[in-house]
């Protein structure tokens, strides 16, 4: 303890108290539920029983249970597709937009600001709006795609199992693009302009400049954006709740929504907690990756 | 010339991006028949408004009030607890604070939909579900506090350390140096981050949906979701509800856009 306090030698107890207070709050109300969740995943839980800490120990039974469920396979693939595709398109579109708005033209920063309106909106509202756009028989998206000749027959985006997951991904990309664009814009702005001038003098074309200067200089930012994006995508709940609720027939089901449904709709808390614990492991791995990439950012 | 080509491209891209918002707003003014018309109309033909009707029929006043109360509570506690922590973590930099920041980040990283099961069971045991709005506030703070600390820390980092030291040399106590010298300089960043926390909390859904069992205390997002579950979907109603709910958020955002962007870009990667 003495050694611990000596780190703060030049600082007073006042600052330590400020930090400890907030950390204690987080440890109690976020850390304990987290541990409690891991505990629940190894217990037999009956929600109708009054809450007690000690319940019959179930060992790995809950995990065996979820892995033996027929939907497990699909949820796994859907979660991977949902996170992977969302991330890919958010980063690529976000990057293209960041490059576009980094150019010098009238109202550039104002228009970039408008994009963030999509980011500030509640996920549930965004989901509801997209649900209307996706509507099969009177939806405007189908109308636009049909009348522009890109498509020849209507797609029932949300009720057709082969499209529902992709519909959710499209809406999620829309929601995530502004944040990606913003962070990548910051990264772009930090690259010194004279690097480009020197490269241009040496006769490098636009593609060579992008590949030789922009990409390597953006490595740390990209690392942070990808890991933050992965965490945010794994947190996405509201959109799925508004659009498809995992359906039809689990075709758009992902782990974070499944876990909630198990706990709160079918009251299989044990199974829900097991899914949550598996997600927790994934999130932890990504968080480590994020902290690493921000650390290297600071050194640059 | 190139500047104008870029300008036009940017304008088109922005228009495409904002189209869903536009669609929400024009649907508010369509009639039921026009709503289901195909091909859809891009401008309401006989403008009607159902704003007041939806507002009263759906009890939006009560829902918005609940959301407002919860968002106020969440923001107040977050600012109260988080500001000091952000300052402490910005002014002391060593292994321990590095670990603390990592812990803060990890605790934020978990989806609410996964945290809500243990929180629900624990709060039920503690009897907190009897005061549902308080329960939601406590739960939401676990999400907003890390976000607030990380962003606010960035604005404290930008304040020169010498200012605090000078105040101490002049005989001020550390608390006085913080409240009298440092805090006024960071007020801008604190305000912007607090508004972001407020907006985030105002639109929160999972905790409200899962922890509030009594309809009377339900929030605006849950009121909105009740629309969607219905077998026959009242689209005009839903869009009107959404527009009423989201317009104040968008106005607040537009007014503060510049500062929010500056605050986010300073804090996002530090």
ipTM field? 0.88
Nearest CA in chain B to A188: B265
- Angstrom distance (rounded) from CA A91 to CA A88: 5
pLDDT: is B228 or A79 the higher one?
A79
Q: Within 10 A of B130 (CB to CB), how many other CB atoms are there?
A: 12
CA of A111 vs chain B CAs: smallest distance (Å): 7
Residue A298's pLDDT is 45
Contact flag B250-A121 (C-beta cutoff 8 Å): yes
- Angstrom distance (rounded) from CA A135 to CA B258: 35
On whether the CB atoms of residues A239 and A122 are closer than 8 A, the answer is no
Nearest CA-CA partner of B228 in A132, A219, A112 = A132
Tell me the mean pLDDT in the region A255-276. 89
Contact flag B3-A21 (C-beta cutoff 8 Å): no
CA of A75 vs chain B CAs: smallest distance (Å): 15
CA of A76 vs chain B CAs: smallest distance (Å): 16
Exposed, middle or buried: residue A195 (CB in 10 Å: 0-12, 13-18, 19+)?
middle
B77-103: pLDDT as tens digits: 999 999 999 888 888 777 777 778 778
Contact flag B113-A259 (C-beta cutoff 8 Å): yes
Helix, strand, coil percent values for chain A (each to nearest 5): 70, 0, 30
Name the average pLDDT for chain A: 84
- Angstrom distance (rounded) from CA A123 to CA A236: 8
Contact flag A138-B139 (C-beta cutoff 8 Å): no
Nearest CA-CA partner of A45 in B52, B125, B93, B250 = B125
Model's pTM, two decimal places?
0.88
Q: Which two tokens stand for residue B112?
A: 């609410």
Residue whose structure tokens are 């530090």: B270
Phi/psi at A107 (nearest 5 deg)?
A: 65, 20
Exposed, middle or buried: residue A199 (CB in 10 Å: 0-12, 13-18, 19+)?
middle
Q: Give contacts of B7 with chain A, Cβ < 8 Å.
A: 105-107
Q: Give contacts of B173 with chain A, Cβ < 8 Å.
A: 14
- Angstrom distance (rounded) from CA A96 to CA A104: 15
Nearest CA-CA partner of A288 in A277, A280, A299, A300 = A280
- Assign A266 a pLDDT band (cuts: 50, 70, 90): confident
Q: Within 10 A of B250 (CB to CB), how many other CB atoms are there?
A: 15
Pick from A15, A217, A224 the residue to mutate for testing the B interface (most B CBs within 10 Å): A15
Residue B270's pLDDT is 46
Contact flag B111-A18 (C-beta cutoff 8 Å): no
Tell me the mean pLDDT in the region A171-194. 88
Nearest CA in chain B to A228: B109
Phi/psi at A178 (nearest 5 deg)?
A: -60, -40
């Amino acid at each position: 303890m003495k050694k611990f306090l000596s780190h703060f030698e030049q600082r007073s107890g006042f600052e330590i108290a400020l930090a400890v207070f907030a950390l204690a709050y987080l440890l109690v109300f976020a850390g304990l539920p987290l541990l409690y969740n891991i505990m629940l995943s190894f217990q037999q839980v009956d929600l109708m029983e009054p809450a007690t800490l000690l319940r019959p120990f179930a060992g790995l039974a809950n995990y065996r249970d979820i892995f033996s469920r027929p939907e497990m396979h699909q949820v796994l693939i859907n979660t991977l597709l949902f996170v992977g595709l969302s991330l890919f398109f958010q980063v690529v579109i976000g990057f293209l937009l960041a490059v576009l708005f980094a150019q010098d033209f009238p109202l550039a920063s104002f228009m970039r600001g408008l994009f963030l309106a999509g980011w500030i909106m509640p996920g549930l509202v965004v989901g509801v709006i997209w649900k209307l756009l996706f509507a099969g028989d009177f939806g405007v998206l189908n109308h636009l795609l049909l009348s522009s000749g890109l498509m020849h027959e209507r797609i029932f985006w949300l009720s057709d199992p082969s499209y529902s997951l992709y519909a959710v991904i499209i809406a999620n990309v829309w929601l995530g693009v502004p944040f990606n664009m913003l962070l990548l814009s910051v990264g772009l702005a930090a690259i010194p302009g004279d690097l480009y001038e020197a490269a241009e003098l040496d006769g490098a074309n636009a593609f060579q400049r992008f590949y030789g200067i922009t990409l390597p200089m953006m490595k740390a930012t990209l690392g942070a954006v990808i890991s933050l994006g992965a965490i945010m995508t794994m947190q996405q709940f509201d959109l799925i709740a508004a659009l498809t609720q995992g359906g039809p027939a689990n075709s758009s089901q992902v782990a974070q929504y499944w876990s909630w449904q198990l706990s709160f709709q079918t009251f299989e808390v044990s199974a829900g907690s097991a899914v949550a614990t598996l997600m927790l492991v994934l999130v932890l791995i990504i968080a480590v990756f994020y902290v690493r990439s921000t650390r290297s950012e600071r050194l640059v | 010339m190139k500047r104008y080509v870029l300008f036009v491209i940017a304008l088109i891209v922005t228009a495409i991006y904002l189209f869903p918002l536009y669609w929400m707003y024009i649907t508010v003014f369509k009639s039921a028949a026009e709503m289901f018309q195909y091909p859809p109309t891009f401008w309401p033909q006989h403008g009607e408004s159902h704003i007041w009707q939806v507002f009263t029929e759906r009890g939006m006043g009560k829902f918005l009030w609940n959301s407002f109360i919860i968002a106020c509570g969440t923001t107040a506690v977050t600012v109260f607890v988080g500001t000091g922590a952000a300052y402490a973590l910005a002014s002391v930099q060593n292994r321990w604070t590095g670990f603390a920041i990592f812990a803060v980040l990890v605790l934020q990283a978990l989806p609410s939909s996964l945290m809500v099961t243990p929180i629900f069971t624990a709060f039920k045991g503690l009897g907190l579900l009897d005061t549902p709005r308080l329960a939601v506030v406590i739960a939401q703070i676990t999400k907003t506090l890390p976000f607030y600390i990380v962003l606010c820390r960035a604005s404290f980092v930008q304040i020169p350390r010498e200012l605090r030291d000078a105040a101490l040399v002049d005989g001020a106590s550390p608390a006085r140096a913080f409240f009298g010298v440092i805090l006024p300089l960071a007020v801008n960043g604190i305000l912007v981050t607090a508004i972001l926390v407020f907006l985030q909390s105002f639109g929160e859904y999972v905790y409200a949906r899962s922890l509030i069992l009594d309809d009377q205390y339900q929030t605006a997002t849950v009121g909105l979701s009740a629309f969607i579950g219905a077998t026959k979907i009242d689209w005009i109603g839903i869009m009107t509800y959404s527009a009423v709910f989201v317009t104040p958020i968008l106005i607040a955002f537009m007014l503060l856009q510049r500062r929010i962007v500056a605050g986010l870009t300073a804090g996002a990667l530090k």
